[in-house]
Structure 1
Amino acid sequence: MVDTVTLDDINLRLLDVLQTQARLTSAQVSEHLGLSQSACLERWRRLEKQGVIRRYRTDIDVDRVASNIRVFCEVSLDPDRPEALRPLIADCMAVPEVVSIYRNDGPYHLLVSVVCRNVRHYHDLTDALIARNPAILRFSGHVVLHRIKVFQGYPLGLLTGKTLPPVTPAPLQTTQAPLRLDGLHLKILTTLQTEGRLSNLALAERVALSPSPCLERVKRLEQHGYIAQYVTEIDLERCLPHLYVMAEVSLGNHGIEEFRRFEAAMASFPEIISSYKIAGPFDYTMDIICRDWDHFRALEQRLAALCPALCGLRVAEVKQRLKHFAGFPLPMLTQPG
């Protein structure tokens, strides 16, 4: 049982600001909250100590770094062999291409997110995984075609019924000029993926650079769009009642205008925290955070009203995140072969 933490309005606002601006300074956050810097820092550190703030990570555009294939794999096990679940999870945890794992209550047991160099790499990896785990009955993959909605934070106001001041993240300045990545760029990106607030001095030591050229490289990675944003991971289990749902969507009409209408509708729902266009029997997959099932059903009805082409929605409730995003295996993705 997870110990819960009660959040007051100031802590909610602090978390709301940090969700997609994890590298803000305490002075910047305290100015936004109207608190002294010391009071802001005290609250910030307490949320870290309580586990409400799990960690800080960097959202990178992996498609800019290397050619890759990303697949969401639905895994079902033999119901007569429940003891096989634990070794399967341990196996997946040890595979660097498996970047996250979710245990779901629905039409499948696990959702495993896999990132590989190419189709052959994916084929070899999954064949080996299935061979090592004979209790797998079904291993169905949905290839990601395009990320439609980037994580923009949990809808903390909707989850608590409170009105929070709008937060507009400062956009990173980007340029279309080419940037040739080298080994040091890859080391920086690999490190920052799961340590988004690492100081420049610590990062420079980690990648064996002096601080000044290290900072220059980070700035260039931001400017060229390899770094999209810095994210603060909030452990909702510790602080807010919620329902986490993964939903797969089918549209009855595949006209380009229907796709555009549906994607615009998804963008308007803060409860839809991320979405992807996928290949296969479904057209999209969405991650949705709601207060409860009543909230979700109301969202479903509003979405259907906005998009008459919506003809199917398959839902799985996320019961547990077994492997939080572990970072893309960038050295593996960029190596030849």
Structure 2
Amino acid sequence: MKTNGVKLDERDLRIIEILQREGRLSKSELARRVHLSSTPCWERLRHLEDAGIIEGYEARVSLKAFGPLTQVVVTVELESHLPADFARFERAIQDHPEIHECDSLGGGIDYILKVLARDLESYQAFMDQLLSAGLGIRRYFTYVVTKPVKRSPPPVTRLTGPEGRKISP
């Protein structure tokens, strides 16, 4: 059967799992951990990157290092649910680095935003700016993060069956 997906085996999944936690690991150490020689490991890694399964490598930054900050989760409901209204909102939030995550949701809430601000006063000034931008926000609810409890990469090895899984890039 012809498919656009990429079949992943145990070693591919192990490479992904290791790199999710240790993105700066040397290629030779990665090869050792997945029980491959360097060249086959490097080829698998390039295949995972070329297929779009590994999108990039990032550093986890401690927000505490930047002093006291306020993290806020904001739920947003738009006035209108026409495709053009969603597109306008989604384009507009791209220009705001305070919003470091945004997901579109199904159900009663249209979006969930994760916002980072110096303090609550700065956050409210930002929201006032967003509201006055004419983006069609009907209402929003603010939830202040009191402490981070869990941050981890997605468990890719649990998302596949024992025989591997075809993943569409």
Could you state the TM-score of these two structures normalised by the residue count of structure 1? 0.45
Query: 3-state DSSP class of the match of 1:334?
Result: coil
| CA distance in structure 1 between the aligned counterparts of 2:122 and 2:47, rounded to whole angstroms | 42
Equivalent in the alignment of 1:331: 157
Q: Does structure 2 retain, via aligned residues, the 8 Å contact 1:200–1:215?
A: yes
For residues 129-208 of structure 1, what are the structure 2 equivalents within 5 Å?
Answer: 179-208=6-35
Q: Which has the higher contact order (CA 8 A, sep 6+)?
A: 2
| CA distance in structure 2 between the aligned counterparts of 1:243 and 1:288, rounded to whole angstroms | 8
Deviation, structure 1 residue 196: 1.0
Query: 3-state DSSP class of the match of 1:234?
Result: coil
- The partner residue of 2:117 within 268, 290, 300 is 290
Deviation, structure 1 residue 256: 0.6
Query: 3-state DSSP class of the match of 1:180?
Result: strand
- The partner residue of 1:230 within 57, 63, 71 is 57
- The partner residue of 2:40 within 200, 213, 218 is 213
Q: Does structure 2 retain, via aligned residues, the 8 Å contact 1:261–1:307?
A: no
| Counterpart AA for 2:159 | L
Deviation, structure 1 residue 198: 1.0
Equivalent in the alignment of 1:260: 87
Structure with higher strand content: 1
- The partner residue of 2:146 within 319, 322, 333 is 319
Equivalent in the alignment of 2:68: 241
Deviation, structure 1 residue 209: 0.9
| Counterpart AA for 2:117 | C
| Counterpart AA for 2:125 | A
Query: 3-state DSSP class of the match of 2:55?
Result: strand
**Please, what is the CA RMSD of the aligned residues?**
1.6
Equivalent in the alignment of 2:166: none
* Count of residues paired in the alignment: 159
Unaligned runs of 5+ in 2: 163-169
Deviation, structure 1 residue 301: 1.7
For residues 96-111 of structure 1, what are the structure 2 equivalents within 5 Å?
Answer: none
Deviation, structure 1 residue 280: 1.9
| Counterpart AA for 2:51 | H
C-alpha offsets along residues 274-310 of structure 1, whole Å, 9 cap, x if unaligned?
1101122211101111111222112112212224410
| Counterpart AA for 1:241 | P
Query: 3-state DSSP class of the match of 2:147?
Result: strand
What is the identity percentage for the equivalent residue pairs of Structure 1 and Structure 2?
Answer: 33
Large movers: runs of 4+ above 4 Å: none
Deviation, structure 1 residue 241: 2.3
C-alpha offsets along residues 192-244 of structure 1, whole Å, 9 cap, x if unaligned?
11111111111111111111111121122112111112111111113322111
Deviation, structure 1 residue 191: 1.1
For residues 32-111 of structure 1, what are the structure 2 equivalents within 5 Å?
Answer: none
| CA distance in structure 2 between the aligned counterparts of 1:306 and 1:217, rounded to whole angstroms | 47
Query: 3-state DSSP class of the match of 1:257?
Result: helix
| CA distance in structure 2 between the aligned counterparts of 1:306 and 1:215, rounded to whole angstroms | 48
Q: Does structure 1 retain, via aligned residues, the 8 Å contact 2:73–2:143?
A: yes
The answer as to 2:104 corresponding to 1:277 is yes
- The partner residue of 1:306 within 126, 130, 133 is 133
| CA distance in structure 1 between the aligned counterparts of 2:8 and 2:30, rounded to whole angstroms | 17
Deviation, structure 1 residue 178: 5.5
Q: Does structure 1 retain, via aligned residues, the 8 Å contact 2:88–2:135?
A: no
